[in-house]
A and B are shown apart, each in its own frame.
Chain A
Amino acid sequence: MTHIDQEALVASLRGLQMTVPATGIVHQLERAVEVVDTLFGYSGAGLMFAGDSKELRYLVATDDAGRSLEGAQLHVGRGPCISTFESDAAVMTTDVRDDPRWPELAERLHPDVRAVAGVPVRLGGEPVGTLNVYQSTPYEWDESDIQALYAYANVIEQILTAAIAAEEKSALADQLQYALDYRVVIERAIGYLMGKHDLTAAQAFTGLRKQARDSRRRVADLAAEVLGEGAGELR
């Protein structure tokens, strides 16, 4: 039983529908991770999803250091985020560079990634991804850290559930898979823009995303276009 007035909620959503332009699920999840990152005040945060290939890949990462967690774990085949997903439980390490569970990870990780904690993100009771945070110095995670991470993972689950309630589940899965598939193109375009305009990765991505939004195109489509133009300039 809930304590929500269905009629009042629907009347309010109807009002909201009239004025609020739609934003895609991936954009919403990016914003959600940004909020989590700001609230925690840790060095970085990210959200990994298991796509069609069942490999755990970043959908959202707040920085390059955190992103190295994905590549290192994909290469080695294990690590704290993969363990979180497979065990469907919180996994934490005080210093991943010195953790006997994953001795091969250290050399593949960005040096700023030290303490790592992850909790599963579930949908319908099943894990579909992980919410991860990291610290750039060794850190003893306590129970309150993990409880808060679970609470945020629960909010992310509700964002996904809300999106599914409002859209076809298959359309939502397509959006997530698209983001996973085309992320490589986006990252290459970011690298190109960084070099061409002397930008940071964050500046390049923000500019790319804004331009895509302004021109009502997908970020990946614009990224492909940017790379095409870049190749043209080189010829």
Chain B
Amino acid sequence: MTHGVEFTHVVDRTLNALADALGADGAALMLIDDHDRPRAVGGSDADGRRLELAQEQAGAGPAFESLSRDTDIVIDDLRAARPSGFPGVAEKATGVRAVLSVPLHADDRVIGSLDFYDRVSHEWQPAKVRAGRRLAELMVMVLKALAHKSTFSGQS
């Protein structure tokens, strides 16, 4: 098993565990790559992957807002009209309604965004937003451990 393949399994299982820990239907990941581009890394399920891809293609969405503003973005219903929702993204991520997007920090740098999502629209409670923020730290730990000492050949 190559590093890359093994790493995808670790990230997959981490996203699933974080979603379980928050009591969300799923979790998905957008990361800044080595060319400073936001990349849709994937999700705990197909809906999560679609959510990230839709945002990457649109160049907009809660993960992008969270990245660029370096703050939590709370979307009660993705289908709502702007600025409450992102209907363009929602069209391509039909299984996702409520999204909580939190920035990922490695030291002082924003390295990406972690999206928690539910399949029904709802208001995000402040306690859940705070928990999402702390869980993002665990995601960063996993990513740092994967990046640590690893050798990645080639360029994207």
B7 touches A10 (CB 8 A): yes
A3:B46 contact, CB within 8 angstroms:
yes
Q: Known interface pairs A3-B48, A4-B8, A11-B34. Does A159 touch B156 (Cβ–Cβ under 8 Å)?
A: no
Supposing A2-B42, A3-B43, A165-B10 touch, asked if A155 and B17 sit within 8 A by C-beta, the answer is: yes
Give chain A residues whose Cβ lies under 8 Å from the Cβ of B41.
Answer: 4-5, 8-9, 12
Tell me, in angstroms, the Cα distance from A147 to B19 when the chains sit together. 12
- B35 cross-chain contacts in A, Cβ below 8 A: 11, 15
Q: Tell me if B144 counts as interface (CB < 8 A to partner A).
A: yes
Q: Which segment of B72-80, B88-96, B147-155 sits at the interface?
A: B147-155
Q: Majority SS of interface residues in chain A?
A: helix
Q: Are B111 and A11 in contact (CB under 8 A)?
A: no
Given contacts A7-B156, A147-B20, A165-B146, contact A12 B10 (CB under 8 A): no
Does the CB pair B141–A159 fall under 8 Å?
A: yes
Complex Cα–Cα for A46 and B135 (A): 17
Q: Once the chains are docked, how many angstroms separate the CA of A162 from the CA of B140?
A: 11
Q: B54 — which chain A residues lie within 8 A by C-beta?
A: none
Q: Are the C-beta atoms of A17 and B4 separated by less than 8 Å?
A: no
Smallest CB separation, A131 vs chain B (Å) = 12
Q: Are B111 and A16 in contact (CB under 8 A)?
A: yes
Are A167 and B32 interface neighbours, CB within 8 A?
no
Contact B40 A5 (CB under 8 A): yes
CA separation between A48 and B89, bound complex, in Å? 44
Q: Total interface residues on A, using CB and 8 Å?
A: 45
B119 close to A (CB within 8 Å)? no
Q: Quick one: given A6-B8, A9-B41, A155-B14, are A17 and B147 in contact (CB under 8 Å)?
A: yes
Chain B, Cβ-Cβ closest to A29: B141
Contact between B20 and A151, CB atoms less than 8 A apart: yes
Q: Decide if A11 touches B145 in the complex (CB within 8 Å).
A: no
A9 interface neighbour in B23, B31, B44, B131, Cβ under 8 Å = B31
Q: Which of A19-27, A49-57, A204-212, A221-229 makes up part of the contact surface?
A: A19-27
Interface centre among A11, A14, A28, A162 (most CB of B within 10 A): A162
Complex CA–CA separation, A8 to B30 (angstroms): 9
B147 contact from A25, A152, A166, Cβ within 8 A: A166
Query: Is A8 in contact with B31, judged by CB distance below 8 angstroms?
Result: yes
Chain B 17-54 residues near chain A, CB threshold 8 A: 17-18, 20-21, 23, 31-36, 39-46, 48-49
Question: Is A89 at the interface (CB under 8 A from chain B)?
Answer: no
Decide: A13 and B143 in contact? CB cutoff 8 A: yes
- A3-B49 in contact given A12-B112, A20-B144, A154-B17 (Cβ < 8 Å): yes
Q: Are A162 and B146 in contact (CB under 8 A)?
A: yes
7 A-B residue pairs with CB within 8 Å: A13-B147, A14-B34, A15-B34, A23-B148, A35-B137, A158-B13, A166-B147
